[in-house]
Chains A and B, each alone.
Chain A
Amino acid sequence: MQSPHARRLVSLLSRLPGVGEKTAQRYLLFLLTAERQLADDLGRELTVLRDRLVPCEKCGNVAEVSDVGASLCDICADNKRDSRLLCVVARVHDLMAIERAGSMRGRYFVLGKLLSPLEGVGPEDLPIEKLVTRVREDGVEEIIVATPPSVEGEATALLVKRELGPTGVAISRIASGVPHGGDLEFADPITMGRALQGRQRL
């Protein structure tokens, strides 16, 4: 594939996670041969993507940009959710895994990272202050820390616990059922549901 156009698209596509050069080429050929509409629609969506979708101002989940007031995600905007219960996760992927299990009736807070000096992440790189403010202002009564059961996930959970100590909120950690060192994203809904129910005081 020598066309500069083709090469550019292949090199862009292969920067996506899980997409190698071969897959990128397959995508390109598919977009060239499938209905034209697909390529056009994709292009249009991608052009406005970053203007339309932003991290939710309250929790860090994916949210539509709002012209009036704060840009909130569906979960933060849903007033049937229990605002007294807050689940702290590392990444949006983890939030989605817990949502798929369907047993979480509260809201979320996405840290975005796990504590890991080896990867250059210290306590000041985590939005701890924002979390403390959220707990204080929204009347949160119970926190479930659902960071993964890796060493970094445990350390992050301990840090969250210490920082939230003064607020007096009850804090629990999701129970195992997720293998040690495992990834919440790959936990099946049954395991996830059990993990949420079996949470333990931290």
Chain B
Amino acid sequence: MFIERVSLRAIRNLRSIDFAPGPRFNVISGENGQGKTSLLEGIYLAATSRSFRTSRLQELILHGEAIASSKLVVSQDGGSHEQSLGIQAAGGARQARVDGKRPPSLAAFAVKTPMVVFHPGEVALSTGPSGERRRLLDRVVLHTAFTKMAEQIAYTRAMRERQEALETRGERATDLEEWETLMVSHGLAVCEARRDASERLSHVAEHAFHRIASPSLVLRVRYLTNVPETEDAYRHLLAASRGRDRARKSVAIGPHRDDLVLEVDGHAARQVASQGQHRAIVLSLKAAEIDVIHAARGVRPVLLLDDVSSELDRARTQALVSFLGEQRGQVFLTTTRPELIESEGLGGGSDRHDFRVERGVLSVAQG
């Protein structure tokens, strides 16, 4: 599976871009602020219906334009399909299409072309709060247990309804039991899918870390939830926390508090890991995300690697180059310094296509 055509309209500073990437390594170079990340963001948008930089998609629209859109032609099993996503400035509505038709849901759209992105901000996976790690779990769930995505939407809705009842009518509201019943059934389904995703990830990530960091260091990756395992226990806990939830205006128990715990030699990575170890952890998690999605879907996800040069310290170069060398699918990578990306690491020159972005315009780079 690979992207054979990319068409972007009014995505950030990219007014209009059309190009045909190669099936393997695509190196996109350019000075700072020329539109490299925006190009990857545009590709990611048409594959996932999201951005990896923001949750407010309107930010992506070229200033002054009413609509932004991204379209990919994806080649797979000898055939090809087209998928596109448009964003409207007014209201921010998303319009997804697969071969011109509306998909049954955005989740159904987002599984068409599996894609994994790796950008500098992602060091937050290891150093930051739990939200990033929950999103990692959910990206995996999308591909391993697609139908569970509806459970998550239902869980969140039930939780908000219950919280509203609690805050407007207090602990004696007579419908709390109904909402809590739904939080329990949908919440447990979410936990189950995430636990499974975490088990798949931890296996690969722990192995990868062993290779990338140092054989003497041990990474442990494990799912953490405050949700009890049985329906009854969960229901009782929810009922018992009504007073606190009402006072704090937030729900204490539930999968929305889940985390993926990362430990290096038995200590929380957030507290003890060095800069280099954080990067090794993130690289391991990304390798795991790619592997797990590949195993679940039977196709290699397209890999987007943003800003490779900015972090090219020597220790990381080694790990990254060997990581890249192991990639068998399509790769888009951006850099300010293309000369540092050695073709040998990319499996030889013929697999490599070079492009250049200057002030929002893309051209084929001359070797």
Report which A residues bind B (CB closer than 8 A): 115-118, 122-123, 150-152, 154-156, 158-159, 162, 179-181
Contact = CB atoms under 8 A, between A and B. Distances in A.
What are the 7 tightest A-B residue pairs by CB atom distance, in nearest-first order? Answer: A117-B164, A117-B165, A158-B178, A151-B157, A155-B178, A123-B175, A123-B174
Nearest to A158: B178
Contacts of B181: 158
A122 B182 contact: no
Interface of B: 104, 150, 153-154, 157-158, 160-162, 164-165, 168-169, 173-175, 177-179, 181-182, 186
Contact of B175 (A117, A151, A181): A117
Contacts of B160: 118
Given A117-B165, A118-B164, A152-B157, 11 more contacts: A117-B179, A118-B160, A122-B168, A122-B169, A151-B182, A151-B186, A154-B182, A155-B175, A155-B178, A158-B182, A162-B178
Describe A's contact surface by its main secondary structure: helix
B150 A155 contact: no
A156 B178 CA distance: 8
Nearest to B163: A117
A68 to B, nearest CB: 39
B150 A122 contact: no
B158 A155 contact: yes
Contacts of B162: 117
A122 B174 CA distance: 8
Most buried by A among B154, B160, B175: B175
Given A117-B161, A122-B169, A151 B154 contact: yes
Contact of B161 (A118, A123, A179): A118
Contacts of A158: 177-178, 181-182
A87 B122 CA distance: 52
Contact of B153 (A122, A123, A152, A181): A181
Contacts of B150: 180-181
A162 B161 contact: no
B154 A117 contact: no
Contacts of B161: 116-118, 151-152, 155
Contacts of A159: 175, 178
A115 B153 CA distance: 18
